[in-house]
Chains A and B, each alone.
Chain A
Amino acid sequence: MSNRSRISHDWWAVIAALAAVVLVKAGILPNIPW
């Protein structure tokens, strides 16, 4: 794998996680069960 794709992979994971944080914070995902 190239370094380029590794970096974009890292950033996609960060973006997705932060999007989830925003959704939880905004109350759009109010209660995630386990």
Chain B
Amino acid sequence: MTEELQTESREVRQIYDPIGPTPTSYIREPEDAHPPLDYPGYKSTALRHPKQPLIYLPQTITEITGPQLGPVVVGESDHDLTIQHEGEPIGERITVSGRVFDTEGKPLRGTLVEIWQANAAGRYKHRWDRWPAPLDPNFSGAGRCLTDDEGRYQFTTIKPGPYPWGNHYNAWRPAHIHFSLMGRAFIQRLVTQMYFPGDPFFPYDPIFNSVRDPAARERMISRFSIHDTVPNWAAAYEFDIYLRGPGATPFEEAH
């Protein structure tokens, strides 16, 4: 069994050579790949979306290049949100790990992954988060790391709690961790949220449901992994992320 797995993983490494050439054009995504900017169920979109249609811009060198931020922003304990203070934060200790791929299944190495989240009680350490749940002096709720040669990242943190918000009567956000991905190019930039499997708030959350395609919504939900769970220490969740991959630039806009 072990031998079989190792063989498989070697093959994967050969097929998806992470040191490929820099793509010179990226796929245009289907219209429902991301949520619409104008989405009435999420009230704050009303005054914060452009009314005019977006103007198609062919990809140029500015869009297919991107910065190297790792050395600037990643600190030694940034991947472990439970050791950033003198004491340990309160809550359910978890690991969150996964790989960053493009849409061809090719891992992105050395790319910056940033997360931020509420504490176990659902409270952010932010001046304008005023909901009456306790702050945790041992939890700041922010992490950073770079992916390794196989596109893998890993954080240790506390499972965030759900929390109420003012969008509609009795509105609650499902527990989530915010993710920011730089990719390798301006065009791959992505900010998203990772959710936990089976969250009872899913049917009522307009932000989660703003993604119209159910299969795409599933891609925002992490998987519990007993295999990666560390005995007597931390439950493991896996979350793989897919960024836009290389593809031909169409001669004319699709729509």
Chains A and B come from one and the same complex = no
Interface, chain A (partner B; CB < 8 A): none
